[in-house]
């Protein structure tokens, strides 16, 4: 039996490298871009609150786990408090040259919405592997399940997503 | 893909495999999606906080020290634009369209300030009884090392946001019109189709912004001192 790998300090300066992947994961978990932004920001806030010691090189898996835990904490907190009504946003954002074209954005919006509707365990597997890009092993570690479980859940998640897409396409067909 | 997984995939009916391909193709449409610029700025940890890995013993000692000093070693909140950056008016106004993250409580009878919500000791006004603007919630964001507090008010489908930026006043903005109301000097301007009023309370910058709300109304609200109950 080998010794566990030594702990290393998570480098706060490198956290910004993962923001795109975490944002996509947050979009898929929350369904709304505004909630996703808040979730990512809160995740980073939590992580930066104190030094984090990791036993693996898998920063992204660790970040995804914190993101997921933060998401569920927010859901629990939201269920406890009175919700304020979302209000229309009328402010133009800064021009983002990396932003997708409008039609692509619409397509992405639809895909995010469908992913957000998947059951939690399937959605998490799909987010970890297909959106964040973790390996099966890293995803299993991040979600604290067996690798075989991840494989099955990912398969089911993709299957449900494909069928939801098909249903959506059927709905769009003219009668 | 591992050999085991590859064998399992080969054994699947073609229709099932096709579903997997369809799903992967769909996911690929969002895989180019990038975090918005504002979020990227907010989570950009300043390079000054990068620290080289320490030797193992030093790491253990460091962990003990870190546990003792807690958050003092690292910024407790996410920064926008690094610790040395000054928030801009545009950043403050951009917060006004973000959703509130916590509710505000009703003040005690007769009180003209909202309870529990303060920015560097400054309370926010309670406008509902007098002007009809109801405070629906607030949020806090750290920008450039400053903790900005924003209270959202609504009235008849309109929304305004009152942000207090603690610390030295924000840089003056070109093109602003100066208004004096009830002894308070305010600057009025338009930022990205939102009407904005800016003034100082005890040296801290206050930003009130709304869409479709006249500049005069914002100035009036900003200058209202509640008979002296709202500290200026």
Return the sign of the alpha-carbon dihedral for residues A162, A126, A31, A15: negative
pLDDT above 90 for B114? yes
> Judging by beta carbons within 10 Å of its beta carbon (0-12, 13-18, 19+), is residue B90 exposed, middle or buried?
middle
pLDDT at position B88 = 83
Task: Tell me if B20 sits within 8 A of A158, measured CB to CB.
Answer: yes
**Average pLDDT value for residue range B53-60:** 39
Q: Taking all residues of chain B, what is their mean pLDDT, rounded to a whole number?
A: 75
The answer to whether the CB atoms of A13 and B159 lie below 8 A apart is no
How many CA atoms lie less than 13 Å away from B50 in the CB half-sphere?
8
E strand or H helix at B23: helix B14-30
pLDDT at position A129 = 92
- A49 to chain B, any CB pair closer than 8 A? The answer is yes
DSSP characters over A49-116: TS--EESSS-HHHHHHHHHHHHHHHHHHHHHHSPPPPP----PPPPP-TTSPPHHHHHHHHHHHHHHH
The gap between the terminal CA atoms of chain A, to the nearest Å, is: 65
pLDDT confidence tier of residue B125, bands split at 50, 70 and 90: very high
pLDDT at position A173 = 47
Most confident range, picked from A62-66, B64-68, B176-180:
A62-66
Cβ-Cβ contacts under 8 Å for B228 (sequence gap 6 or more): none
Q: Which residues of B touch A12 (CB under 8 A)?
A: 45, 49-50, 74
pLDDT at position A90 = 38
Nearest to A50 among B23, B70, B78 (CB): B70
DSSP characters over A7-44: PEE--GGGGGGGHHHHHHHHHHHHSSHHHHHHHHHHHH
The Cα B25–Cα A108 span in angstroms is 11
pLDDT at position B191 = 82
pLDDT at position A4 = 66
- Tell me the nearest-neighbour CA distance from A75 into chain B, angstroms: 12
ipTM over 0.85: no
pLDDT at position A109 = 78
The Cα B22–Cα B75 span in angstroms is 43
DSSP characters over B172-195: P-TTPEEEEETTEEEEEEEETTEE
pLDDT at position A148 = 92
SS3 A157: helix
The answer to whether the CB atoms of B94 and A92 lie below 8 A apart is no
Which is more confidently placed, B91 or A27?
Answer: A27
Neighbours of A133 (CB within 10 A): 15
Tokens 């479709």 belong to: B212
SS3 B206: strand
Q: State the count of interchain CB pairs (< 8 A) between A and B.
A: 194
The answer to whether the CB atoms of B16 and A85 lie below 8 A apart is no
pLDDT at position B51 = 40
- A11 to chain B, any CB pair closer than 8 A? The answer is yes
pLDDT above 90 for B126? yes
B191, B30, B27: which is closest to A36 by C-alpha? B30
pLDDT at position B180 = 86
The Cα B216–Cα B223 span in angstroms is 10
pLDDT at position B79 = 38
pLDDT in tens, B9-23: 666 677 777 788 888
The Cα A73–Cα A69 span in angstroms is 6
Cβ-Cβ contacts under 8 Å for A170 (sequence gap 6 or more): none
Tokens 């189709």 belong to: B193
**Average pLDDT value for residue range B120-124:** 91
The Cα B166–Cα B202 span in angstroms is 10
The Cα B195–Cα A108 span in angstroms is 32
**Average pLDDT value for residue range B43-70:** 40
pLDDT confidence tier of residue B7, bands split at 50, 70 and 90: low
**Which tokens go with A145?**
């399940």
pLDDT in tens, B198-211: 999 998 999 999 88
B131, B169, B132, B137: which is closest to B150 by C-alpha? B137
pLDDT at position A156 = 93
Task: Tell me if A111 sits within 8 A of B22, measured CB to CB.
Answer: no
pLDDT in tens, B132-174: 898 888 888 888 778 889 998 988 878 899 999 998 888 767 7
- B105 to chain A, any CB pair closer than 8 A? The answer is no
pLDDT confidence tier of residue B50, bands split at 50, 70 and 90: very low
pLDDT at position B65 = 37
* Tens of pLDDT, residue by residue, chain A (175 residues): 566 667 778 887 778 788 889 999 999 998 788 888 889 988 988 888 778 888 777 888 899 999 999 999 888 877 765 554 444 443 333 344 444 444 445 567 788 888 999 999 999 999 999 988 889 998 998 899 999 999 999 999 999 988 888 776 665 444 4
Distances from the Cα of B171 to the Cα of A37, B142, B143, angstroms: 27, 18, 15
* pTM more than 0.80: no
- A4 to chain B, any CB pair closer than 8 A? The answer is no
């Amino acid at each position: 039996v080998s010794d566990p790998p030594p702990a290393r300090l998570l480098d706060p300066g490198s956290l910004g490298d993962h923001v795109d992947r975490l944002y996509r994961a947050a979009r898929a978990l929350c369904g709304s871009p505004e909630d996703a932004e808040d979730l990512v920001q809160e995740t980073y806030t939590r992580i930066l609150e104190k030094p984090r010691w990791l036993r693996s090189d898998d920063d992204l898996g660790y970040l995804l786990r914190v993101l997921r835990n933060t998401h569920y904490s927010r859901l629990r907190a939201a269920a406890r408090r009175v919700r304020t009504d979302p209000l229309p946003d009328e402010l133009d954002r800064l021009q983002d040259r990396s932003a997708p074209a409008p039609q692509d954005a619409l397509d992405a919006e639809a895909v995010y919405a469908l992913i957000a509707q998947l059951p939690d365990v399937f959605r998490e597997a799909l987010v970890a592997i297909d959106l964040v890009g973790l390996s099966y092993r890293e995803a299993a570690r991040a979600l604290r399940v067996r690798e075989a479980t991840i494989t099955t859940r990912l398969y089911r998640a993709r299957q449900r997503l494909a069928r939801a897409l098909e249903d959506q396409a059927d709905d769009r067909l003219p009668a | 893909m591992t050999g085991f997984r590859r064998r399992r995939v080969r054994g699947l009916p073609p229709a099932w495999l096709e579903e997997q391909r369809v799903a992967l193709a769909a996911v690929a449409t969002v895989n180019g999606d990038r975090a918005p610029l504002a979020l990227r700025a907010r989570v950009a940890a300043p390079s000054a906080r990068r620290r080289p890995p320490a030797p193992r013993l030093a790491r253990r000692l460091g962990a003990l020290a870190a546990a003792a000093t807690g958050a003092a070693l690292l910024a407790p909140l996410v920064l926008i634009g690094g610790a040395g950056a000054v928030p801009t008016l545009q950043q403050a106004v951009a917060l006004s369209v973000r959703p509130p993250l916590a509710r505000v409580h009703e003040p005690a009878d007769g009180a003209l300030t909202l309870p529990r919500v303060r920015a560097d000791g400054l309370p926010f006004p309670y406008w509902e009884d007098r002007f009809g603007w109801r405070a629906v919630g607030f949020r806090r964001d750290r920008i450039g090392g400053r903790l900005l507090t924003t209270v959202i008010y609504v009235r008849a489908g309109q929304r305004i946001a009152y942000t207090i930026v603690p610390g030295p006043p924000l840089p003056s903005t070109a093109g602003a019109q100066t208004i004096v109301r009830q002894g308070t000097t305010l600057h009025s301007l338009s930022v990205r189709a939102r009407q904005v009023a800016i003034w100082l309370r005890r040296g801290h910058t206050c930003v009130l912004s709304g869409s479709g709300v006249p500049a005069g109304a914002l100035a009036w609200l900003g200058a209202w001192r509640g008979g002296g109950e709202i500290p200026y």
